[in-house]
């Protein structure tokens, strides 16, 4: 699958596909009532993947606001 640059932040995140699989793909389990903040959910996942705090915030912002994954 092609990793294309986000037109908002100009970055092609290699983690996006894994996030889609592991988190977005489990949205029914994680957040069945669409009640949680997906910025925070994404941030926690990114930190668990050993991103730095800065990288994790940038990734969370990207997922939450630039994609339909979060």
- Residues 27 and 24: their CA atoms lie apart, in Å, by 5
Beta carbon of residue 44, minimum distance to Zn ion (angstroms, whole number): 19
Beta carbon of residue 8, minimum distance to Zn ion (angstroms, whole number): 4
Give 24 or 32: the residue with its C-beta nearer to Zn ion: 24
Three-class SS of residue 61?
A: helix
- Residues 3 and 24: their CA atoms lie apart, in Å, by 17
Give 57 or 66: the residue with its C-beta nearer to Zn ion: 66
| Interacting residues toward Zn ion by CB under 5 A | 6, 8-9, 62, 66
């Amino acid at each position: 699958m092609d990793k294309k640059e986000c037109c908002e932040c100009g970055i092609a995140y290699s983690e996006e596909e894994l996030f889609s699989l592991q988190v977005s793909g489990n949205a029914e389990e994680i957040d069945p009532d669409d009640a949680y903040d997906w910025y925070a959910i994404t941030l926690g996942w990114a930190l668990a993947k050993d991103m730095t705090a800065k990288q994790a915030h940038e990734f969370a912002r990207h997922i939450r606001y630039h994609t339909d994954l979060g």
